[in-house]
Amino acid sequence: MKRIAVLTSGGDAPGMNAAVRAVVRTAFENEIEVYGVMGGYQGLLESDFISMDLRTVSNIIQRGGTILHSARSEEFKTMEGTLKARDVLEKYGIENVVVIGGDGTLAGGNRLAGTGVSVVGIPATIDNDVGCSDLTIGYDTAMNTVMSMVDRLRDTTEAHKRCSVVEVMGRDAGYIALNSGIAVGAVSILIPEVEYDIQRDVVDRMNRTLHYGKNHFIIIVAEGAGDSEKISKRIKEATGIETRLTVLGHVQRGGSPTVNDRVLGSQFGHEAIQLIKKINDKSSYALGYINKKIVSYPLEEALKIKKPMDMELYKVANEISI
């Protein structure tokens, strides 16, 4: 019987459990034995494995986070650590590893693949910044969480005629900021991919909307777009409007996954096993979701794919937010 392992690594993302569930249940249907690795690559180094079956993944599809837990591992990033991980897998007779996470997780999988281990990567990150996939597990839930939180914040913002600056996740990517910003009707959206001028892109836009009778404002800032606290102070100084900063932080990672993330995670997990059934060598792949279909790429090539920001959507945001 073929024996595989599955792990989740990096930042947790709602829908990871759906992917783990699909991996285990599809493997069971195809007579493949599955070990879960507790705590990502660090757990792999420590041989922290659990045997998984149909019942170990019962009642998890609706849960956020990951039942396999996650951890950062500096040791795994070294050649010695990667070779140690390979040796652990060989000791347990594990032929393939499914890794679920973002770019860092897929890069770790690629290092492991370089030692002769067959790896299948599933993109899961709320930032949606994996180049080989239009959508990543957790992204839809995170956007809906931001939308829900800002909808609530808007009530008090409007009541007090304030400006609310809301910092959302996205150190290197503005996908959450752009899409949630449009969804909540933000007057201005600041993302790391686009250079901006506070006076022109925020203050002047607010003054223009003031002229047309608007008296409360939502500004969405991706965390990588600048210092949100300084931006808030600058707005208050330039407009005289009471301005409050809200940092949503890790609340965006949590919560029950949306329908879209449960389905996407399930599709990815199922396809990972279908791919493993076909692998008869040491090749490694990353899965992606392109044009509403699950696709696969050689893992090393997948890591080289860059995802451009949707500038047409950014233009839409600017033209409808006045």
Please tell me the predicted confidence (pLDDT) of residue 322.
77
Residues 66-94: tens digit of each pLDDT: 999 998 899 999 999 999 999 999 999 99
pLDDT band at 19 (very low <50, low <70, confident <90, very high): very high
Residues 192-210: tens digit of each pLDDT: 999 999 999 999 999 999 9
Q: Whole-angstrom Cα distance, residue 235 to residue 218? A: 12
Terminal-residue alpha carbon distance, the chain: 62
Instruction: Summarize the confidence of residues 219-244 as an average pLDDT.
Output: 97
Neighbour-count burial of 114, counting CB atoms closer than 10 A to its CB (0-12 exposed, 13-18 middle, 19+ buried)? middle
For tokens 């939502």, name the residue. Answer: 218
E strand or H helix that includes residue 307: none
Beta carbons within 8 Å of 218's beta carbon, 6+ residues apart: 150, 153, 154, 157, 163, 164, 166, 184, 185, 186, 187
Residue 19's SS3 state is helix
Q: Are 222 and 190 in contact (CB under 8 A)?
A: yes
Nearest Cα to Cα of residue 16 among 297, 186, 257, 274? 257
Structure tokens at 150: 């800002």
Which residues are known catalytic residues? 127
Q: Whole-angstrom Cα distance, residue 97 to residue 113? A: 9
Please tell me the predicted confidence (pLDDT) of residue 153.
97
Query: Mean pLDDT, the chain, as a whole number?
Result: 97
Residue 182's SS3 state is helix
Q: Whole-angstrom Cα distance, residue 34 to residue 32? A: 6
Nearest Cα to Cα of residue 72 among 29, 11, 116? 11
Q: Are 248 and 152 in contact (CB under 8 A)?
A: no
pLDDT band at 1 (very low <50, low <70, confident <90, very high): confident
Nearest Cα to Cα of residue 125 among 270, 306, 294, 264? 264
**Confidence check: pLDDT of 154 > 80:** yes
Higher pLDDT, 227 or 281: 227
Instruction: Summarize the confidence of residues 176-200 as an average pLDDT.
Output: 97
**Confidence check: pLDDT of 280 > 90:** no
Residue 65's SS3 state is coil
Strands 49-52 and 33-37: antiparallel
Q: Whole-angstrom Cα distance, residue 241 to residue 217? A: 10
Angle subtended at Cα 259 by Cα 263 and Cα 290, rounded to the nearest 5 degrees:
45
Q: Whole-angstrom Cα distance, residue 245 to residue 190? A: 14
CA 33 to centroid of chain Cα atoms: 28
Q: Whole-angstrom Cα distance, residue 6 to residue 163? A: 45
